[in-house]
Structure 1
Amino acid sequence: MFKFITGKPLWANILLGIGILLVLFFLFFQSLSWITRHDKTLPVPSVTGKSFEEAKKLLEGQGFEVEIQDTVYNDTAALLSVVKQFPNAETKVKMNRTVYLTINRDAAPDIDMPKLTGQSFRSAQITIQQQKLKLEDTIYAPYFARDLVLEQHYKGQPIKEGTKIPMGSGIVLVLGRGTGSELLEVPDLIGLTLNEAKTVLEANGFTTGTTQPQGADPNWFVYRQAPDHFTPNGNINRIRQGQIIDLWVQAEKPVRQMVDSAAAQP
């Protein structure tokens, strides 16, 4: 073998070496596509909506690698299901390509309850949507401002802002009913306890305004109200539904002043 090589001129050996290298390069590039399966592509199957275990089994069974890219929470999707995949379904890729999956969490994460009281109903709806909560129901209560959020409830109880609740929870809003167009008789509250007066006002569609003195015992008695039950000329006073009635209370039950009904004008 060496005699064959050494027996030839140098230029011939150089040409021979170049030829051998060219053949080796040709064989290498021809085999490269076979080694890497460059011409072998497969469509990525759709696994969105399937459980992670089911998606992994399907993808790996077709020669793909699987990796979890992210986890999110979607209350409309099944827990631990695939909510997103990359590459998308039916995309043609090479075999052994990694498919990245976004998986729905196995439980809703906790978030801080936002402050909705004092907002308009529309603003509260936007906040609820942004915080990924649900508006479960609305309840109207006597108050002069229409659709103002008076209270926020969770599971039947008032809830303070900052309280941890699961994302997607249902929230109930108590809204102001506003003043109506119908004129209603102002109830006579003199002599009632503060608790009784508030109950009467709520039952008749009015709003309890300020109470003097502030922080008074709920069992104290109403001795003054504004607007009054009677007008200055003795007629029964009428105001719109939802309007505010302020109360003054004291520890002693007041002595009622009788109104001369004969003096009342029709």
Structure 2
Amino acid sequence: MRFLKKLGNFIISKKFIFNFILFGLVWILIIWGSTSYFNSYTNHGDAVEVPNLLNNNVNDVSQLIGEKPLKYEVLDSIYNPDLVEGTVIYQNPMPTDSSGLKVKSDRVIQIRVSKRSRLVYVPVVVSKSNRFAEAVLMSKGLRTKVRYVPSNEDQGSVIAQKFEGKNIMTGQQVPINSVIELTVGKRTVGKMIGIPDLSGLTINEAEQRFVGSSSLRLYSVCSGCETKSDSLNARVIRQTPVASDSSKIPEGSTITIFASPNADTQ
């Protein structure tokens, strides 16, 4: 009984009441401060409507967002030749007018846009028939332009393929719908061409003899060439067919030259 009496006297004492009220005020301040901080940090209660960016051009996105505290980023571009370049075809989060959802300030809207061009690999069709080559290139979304040159060896076959005047390398990519220039061999009738003497010339000098001419073609072999310098300095040591005053070959034929970087230039 004495314990309960002492406890009752302590509870109604001014010291206990003062400490209890002080503790309560401190606890209230802690809860209020924490709530205010987290509400400010997480933008609690802040709701911003998401504008509809779909089917608009990416250049107009900033204007569509306007003064709203939102940002946007372009994730990637997707090939679609039926849409204007830069058309927004995807956004996340979705527009408020269709989803009913709102977001917090500084939310980033992710978008994907359309593009009307993409790179495709060019298949190598040299030595293939013209018809086959055109079909393969067309299946890759490429167009062709055919140029026929006299040839008694590659009749109807692709001799060279070029893009914008340059030979296509293995693994090369070009924009879809590009024009690939095909050089196709075509049989010639009757015309005979004199054989030029290419002995002692460098490979580059020999090639210059054939620039602008479709009558004959040149094929070079340099088995001893290991570096670019070797190829530049190598000179023709023999050719086939052999040149002579009376030697002639049919138009469209190929002359093969054999070069060596160690050839005697004297």
Q: Aligning the two structures, in what range does the TM-score lie when normalised by the shorter sequence?
A: 0.3 to 0.5
Query: Normalised by the size of structure 1, how large is the TM-score?
Result: 0.47
Query: Normalised by the size of structure 2, how large is the TM-score?
Result: 0.47
